[in-house]
Amino acid sequence: MTDNNSANDSEKNLDQKNAQHKKRMQAVKEKVDQRIDSAQEERGLIIVITGNGKGKSTSGFGTVARAVGHGLKAAVIQYIKGTWACGERSLLENAGVGFEVMGTGFTWNTQDKTQDIAAAQQVWLKNKKLLQDESIDVVLMDELTYMVAYKYIELDEVLEALKNRPVNQHAIITGRGCHRAIIDLADTVSEVQSIKHAFDNGIKAQKGIDW
């Protein structure tokens, strides 16, 4: 009898826990459903992915890949990019994604500010045209934040171009130290923080993982 009573008590406790869990989950579902019902506006988003951690460009390219997978048309502008191979470009160009690449690499490599400004301005002109093109659904501006921070591209020009882009066009900006004015304008902002990085422990950048 004692064993039967213990089994019955355990079963009752389990039933109570299940009932409490169901009640909590139902309350969560109701809140989520309310948020979904209230979020009915459809328009292009400004998405900023900033911070000191690894994964900003990766996230941006992942969003482009998702968009292309849904049949959207995307374009990519890469500001801090040299002539080395780019796995994302190799993949996405085959999927119809257009690329504009600054091509000078890191500023500590060129050590020529005048050349860097000229290269940035040349790519920015193409960038602005993409931000005016209603046929482009998604524009990824990879590492644009550096161009604004270095004053290679005027902040006001960037803000104006973002504000005046086609209403349904999504704009994604990546890079460290995003200017507060761009963050304020953005709809979604994510900050990627570094906890550990292999490079800090003397491990070289890996093909297919880091580039």
- What pLDDT tens digit does each residue of the chain (211 aa) get? 556 666 676 777 877 878 787 888 887 787 767 776 676 778 999 999 999 999 999 999 999 999 999 999 999 999 986 566 788 998 999 999 999 998 765 554 556 788 889 999 999 999 999 999 999 999 999 999 999 999 999 999 999 999 999 999 999 999 999 999 999 999 999 999 988 878 777 878 777 777 6
CATH of the domain at 80: 3.40.50.300
Same domain, 11 and 104: no
pLDDT given at position 15: 75
Same domain, 55 and 4: no
Assign 32 to helix, strand or coil. helix
Same domain, 128 and 182: yes
Same domain, 61 and 98: yes
Same domain, 34 and 88: no
C-alpha angle 84-155-184 in degrees, rounded to nearest 5: 105
Alpha-carbon gap, residue 114 to 73, rounded angstroms:
34
Residue 30, both tokens: 């109701």
Does some domain include residue 121? yes
User: How many domains does the structure of the chain reveal?
Assistant: 2
Does some domain include residue 143? yes
Same domain, 186 and 97: yes
Same domain, 29 and 64: no
DSSP assignment of 81-129 equals --SS--HHHHHHHTTT-EEEE-----HHHH--HHHHHHHHHHHHHHHHH
Alpha-carbon gap, residue 137 to 69, rounded angstroms:
13
Domain of 7? 1-40
pLDDT given at position 108: 46
pLDDT given at position 6: 66
Crossing angle (nearest 10°) for helices 155-163 and 113-130: 10
